[in-house]
């Protein structure tokens, strides 16, 4: 019995000695990691803190304090490494480290790091996309802004700039329109409408070149609806007159003259307006406009003809 008891005491002493030795080893691991961190080598420090955490966790309660310290440092290191990657233009690596930081911060209950890393990803993506847009790499910029809205569909600025990138690219107007409509729905209505007006105006001009008067009219009207302009009204008037939609044409030409009273083509527009009014059956108003250009060098002869034909007073 005495021999058995002695064996038990020896066993307890041996276990205690091993545990003490393990704790010392883990402590040394942690201190070594801290020294590497102070030298500025974040990547190497991360590897050592992860090793220290694994070893400390294996000790259970005895290694809990060291494990908790490691859990505090590791997410911060991942954020720091991510920032360094971003500063070096390694966007994918940066995002990978920020995502790792988010995962471990959530696991370890580090709300501050979780919030920081979560905010850094869209900020970095926006900065990268903005640089691509400034460099006129339009399709790459649009794709970069797409990553932002995939993370946050309510980011109206990203939708707006995506639309601008597609519009500037020149062959992606429908994608531009979709993005700009999303921007308008997410706090960027005024800016989005201005951009939409420009996109629709370009479409109207393209339709005019293709002699698609119906498409020209539709797109010019959409341009005016989003942000009225003299150019849009001129295109509406021209297309509507060609399509014999005389009332629409007359209204558009009047709007054009109101927006651009000193237009270089004022006499021509007045003539077109008068003919549209005549086609709409408003001869009295047509007469008033024909009279305004009766003495014009280019349009006067035609105007005087209609003044006589309509028996204008």
Residue 296: inside a domain? no
The reply to whether 169 falls in a domain is no
What local confidence, expressed as pLDDT, does residue 23 receive?
86
Could you tell me which of 261, 289, 292 has the C-alpha nearest to residue 273? 289
pLDDT at 14: 33
- The per-residue pLDDT for 92 is 86
pLDDT of residue 171: 85
| 293 three-class SS | coil
237 within 8 A of 216, measured Cβ to Cβ = no
239 near 208, Cβ under 8 Å?
A: yes
Q: Compute the average pLDDT of residues 12-37.
A: 70
DSSP 90: -
pLDDT given at position 178: 97
pLDDT value of residue 88? 87
Please report, for residues 39, 182, 252, 255, 266, the alpha-carbon distance to residue 258 in angstroms, rounded to integers and kept in the order given.
71, 32, 10, 5, 11
Task: Please check whether residue 287 lies inside any domain of the structure.
Answer: no
Q: In this structure, what token pair is assigned to residue 165?
A: 């990138």
Tell me, what's the pLDDT at 16?
38
**In a domain? residue 162:** no
User: Per the domain annotation, does 61 fall within a domain?
Assistant: yes
- The SS3 call for residue 239 is helix
CB hemisphere CA count around 128 (13 angstroms): 24
Question: For residue 81, what are the domain limits?
Answer: 21-135
In tens, the pLDDT along 27-70 reads 999 999 899 999 989 999 999 999 999 999 999 999 999 999 99
Residue 89: the pLDDT is: 84
- Decide if 98 is inside a domain: yes
Q: Which two tokens stand for residue 61?
A: 């309660």
278: tokens are 């005549």
Is residue 233 one of the residues assigned to a domain? no
Q: Are 196 and 219 in contact (CB under 8 A)?
A: no
Cα 164 to chain centroid, rounded = 9
Report pLDDT digits (tens) over 250-288: 999 999 999 999 999 999 999 999 999 999 999 999 999
pLDDT digits (tens, 9 = 90+) for 111-128: 999 999 999 998 889 999
User: In this predicted structure, what is the pLDDT of residue 2?
Assistant: 37
Region 209-214 average pLDDT: 97
Residues 6+ apart with CB under 8 A from 162: 141, 142, 145, 146, 149, 179, 183
Q: What is the pLDDT of residue 170?
A: 85
- The residues near 268 (Cβ < 8 Å, ≥ 6 apart) are 298, 299
* Token pair belonging to 94: 């940066």
Quote the number of domains for the chain.
1
Residue 20 pLDDT exceeds 60:
no
Q: What is the pLDDT of residues 143-181, one digit of tens each?
A: 999 999 999 999 999 999 999 999 999 888 999 999 999
Q: Is the pLDDT of residue 6 over 80?
A: no
The model's pLDDT over 70-108, given as tens digits with 9 standing for 90+, comes to 999 999 999 999 999 988 888 889 999 999 999 999 999
Confidence of residue 8 (pLDDT cuts 50, 70, 90): very low
Instruction: Give the tokens for residue 184.
Output: 């308008």
The whole-number average pLDDT for the span 132-141 is 96
pTM: 0.77
Contact 161, 148 (CB under 8 A): no
Is 170 among the domain residues? no
Burial 186-219 (b: 16+ CB within 10 A, else e): bebeebbbebbbbbbbbbbbebbeeebbebbbbb
d(CA 265, CA 149): 45
**The CATH number of the domain where 114 resides is what?**
1.25.40
Directed axis angle between helix 111-134 and helix 91-108, to 10°?
160
| CA–CA dist 189, 183 (Å, integer) | 7
pLDDT of 301: 96
* CA 208 to chain CA centroid, nearest Å: 31
Which DSSP letter does residue 150 get? H
Q: Please provide residue 283's backbone torsions phi and psi, each rounded to the nearest 5 degrees.
A: -65, -35
Q: Is residue 7 classed exposed, middle or buried when 0-12, 13-18 and 19+ CB atoms within 10 A define those classes?
A: exposed
């Amino acid at each position: 019995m005495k021999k058995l008891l002695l064996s038990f005491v020896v066993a307890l002493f041996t276990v205690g000695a091993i545990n003490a030795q393990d704790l010392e080893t883990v402590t040394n691991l942690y201190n070594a990691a801290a020294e590497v961190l102070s030298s500025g080598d974040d990547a190497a420090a991360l590897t050592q803190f992860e090793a220290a955490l694994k070893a400390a966790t294996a000790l259970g309660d005895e290694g809990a304090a060291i494990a908790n310290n490691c859990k505090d440092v590791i997410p911060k290191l991942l954020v720091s490494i991510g920032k360094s990657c971003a500063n070096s233009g390694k966007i994918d690596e940066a995002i990978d480290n920020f995502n790792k930081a988010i995962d471990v911060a959530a696991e370890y209950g580090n709300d501050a790091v979780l919030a920081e890393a979560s905010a850094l990803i869209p900020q970095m993506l926006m900065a990268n996309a903005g640089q691509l847009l400034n460099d006129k790499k339009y399709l790459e910029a649009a794709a970069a802004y797409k990553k932002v809205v995939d993370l946050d569909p309510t980011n109206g600025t990203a939708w707006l700039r995506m639309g601008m990138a597609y519009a500037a690219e020149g062959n992606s107007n429908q994608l531009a329109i979709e993005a700009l409509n999303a921007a308008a729905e997410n706090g960027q209505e005024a800016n989005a409408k201005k951009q939409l007006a420009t996109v629709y105006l370009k479409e109207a001009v393209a339709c005019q070149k293709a002699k698609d008067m119906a498409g020209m009219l539709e797109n010019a009207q959409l341009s005016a609806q989003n942000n009225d302009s003299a150019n849009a009204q001129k295109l509406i008037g021209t297309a509507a007159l060609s399509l014999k939609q005389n009332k629409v044409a007359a209204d558009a030409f009047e709007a054009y003259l109101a927006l651009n009273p000193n237009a270089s083509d004022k006499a021509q527009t007045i003539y077109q307006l008068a003919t549209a009014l005549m086609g709409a059956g408003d001869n009295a108003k047509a007469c008033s406009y024909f009279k305004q250009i009766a003495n014009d060098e280019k349009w006067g002869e035609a105007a005087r003809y209609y003044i006589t034909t309509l028996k204008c007073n």
